[in-house]
Amino acid sequence: MNLFDTLDNKRKNINLSEKKKIKIYVCGITPYSESHIGHAMSAVIFDTLRKYLLANKQNVIYVQNFTDIDDKLIQAAEENNSDIKTISTKFINKHLSALSKLNVLKPDYSPKATEEIKEMINMIQTLISKGIAYEIDGDCFFRVGKFETYGKLSKRNFDEMLAGARIEIDSRKENPMDFALWKTKTGNEPGWESPWGEGRPGWHIECSAMSMKYLGQNIDIHGGGRDLIFPHHENEIAQSEAFTNNPPFSNIWMHNGLINLKSEKMSKSLGNIITIDHLLNKFSAAAIRMFFISGNYKNPLEYNTDLIAANERAIMRLKNTSQLKSSENVDHLNTSIFIKNFHDAMQSDLNTSMALGTIFELSKAINQANTQNINIKKAQEDLNNLLDILGININEDQINEKKANFDKVDEQWIKSQIELRNQYRKSKNFSEADAIRKELLSKGVSLLDSKDGTEWTMQ
């Protein structure tokens, strides 16, 4: 099997015949608010990789962290007159519940940054003792200039990195690119005792320390969204390899594309998010998973309810195929070519789009064979097995005709009603606007307002 490595800009092999441990670390969420579907897509992509490796009898050790100490989390706690533990616990639990509904396996380890402070302090102390980091007024920084290959992951030069890092100006730094390993406590924010006084870890050191604790100095695959390449993953490489003197920190750096809403990256900071629970209220988990893996995992994916609805209908067709009554004829449908093509696709840089295409071809062959009185029992089992590898459960209760039948509603009429409602809202005639919303809701049409406009989905 091969996977694309962002660092070396080429595909690298994973030998599935060796049956050795495959160590995977994937950067997790910062739980200061509800997770959005971009988080879900990343989780599903790496879960699909994990499921495929497990299906091939690999010994996978999968770690995904929670960044439960962060500026945004501290701010959320202050705004809600709460504390970071209460806020983070709430949103971690909601996140895990949503991923469970999406048939995402639990990680083998889910470390929280606040529970691994000791490892981070030890790592920082070693970097300082090597002269690769320094302390000023209780703050610790990594000397970027001491790591000769800094920038090798993102392929950026100094000026590009300086522009892209959103660096906080700090005249105390030896180099403006030097990044924080430890931050001294200010105000009422949380803090932990350290050799440099009370404070908290920087973002980047958290993942390096947690990865090494659970997976050792060298791992097979480090995953995350493309938005983490710089500065987060770049800094992880620098501090980890400087700490161990034993490169590479990760053999493969695997990055998924981001999900876009109207060609703009979906993110909490932009305020254009759609939560996982919102999507699960409208579509089955099977259709959502199929949507997330329908393209090349490295590319951005445009949020499109019409495509998810089309996937819902495709799921219905697959379900119908799997439930066909088979002939008892001794002649069986030969599925070997479909199974081979499926595995060829998955082993070619996790080509889930081609793998799905093979599944649909197998479904078509089963339907045709059934009309010819050929025994399809084994083929139906194979169909279900391939879907299981992708985490697509076509037998879940949420799959039904109602969710698949977007085409039974007059789309033009819905859009005209939304436009009329928007006009009422602009003129502050909210009673008429609410009446239109209620009428659409009575027909099973739910509206989602955002700063970019109004979207509609079927309930």
Tens of pLDDT, residues 77-101: 999 999 999 999 999 999 999 999 9
**Distance between CA atoms of residues 76 and 381, nearest Å:** 49
pLDDT, tens only, 370-405: 999 999 999 999 999 999 999 999 987 777 654 555
pLDDT bracket for residue 162 (50, 70, 90)? confident
The DSSP annotation for 321-359 comes to HHTPPPP--S-B---HHHHHHHHHHHTBT--HHHHHHHH
Between the alpha carbon of residue 413 and those of residues 76, 417, 437, the distances in Å are: 41, 6, 13
- Rounded to whole angstroms, the Cα distance separating 142 from 128 reads 8
Q: Which residue has the higher pLDDT, 165 or 235?
A: 235
Going by C-alpha positions, the residue among 141, 207, 130, 201 that lies closest to residue 168 is 141
* Confidence band, pLDDT 50/70/90 cuts, at residue 456: confident
Residue for token pair 């992708």: 390
**What's the whole-number mean pLDDT along residues 35-49?**
97
Per-residue pLDDT at 452 = 74
**pLDDT for the residue 402:** 45
DSSP E strands in 94-211: the ranges are 133-136, 139-142, 179-184, 199-201
Compute the average pLDDT of residues 336-345: 98
- CATH numbers and ranges of domains, the chain: 2-261 (3.40.50.620), 304-404 (1.20.120.640), 409-458 (no CATH)
Q: Answer yes or no: are the C-beta atoms of 305 and 455 closer than 8 Å.
A: yes
Per-residue pLDDT, 403: 52
- H/E segment holding residue 73: helix 71-79
- Interval 156-176 mean pLDDT: 77
**Tens digit of pLDDT for each residue in 403-416?**
555 445 567 778 88
Residue 331 burial class via C-beta count within 10 angstroms: exposed 0-12, middle 13-18, buried 19 and up = exposed
Name the residue type at position 369.
Answer: A
Provide the residue type at 233 as one letter: H
pLDDT at position 263 over 60: yes
Task: Please give the pLDDT value at position 43.
Answer: 98
- Please give the mean pLDDT across all residues of the chain: 92
Q: Two tokens at 405? A: 């039948």
Cβ atoms of 437 and 444 within 8 Å: the answer is: no
pLDDT per position as a tens digit, 211-253:
999 999 999 999 999 999 999 999 999 999 999 999 999 999 9
Query: How much of the chain, in percent, has pLDDT values that exceed 70?
Result: 95
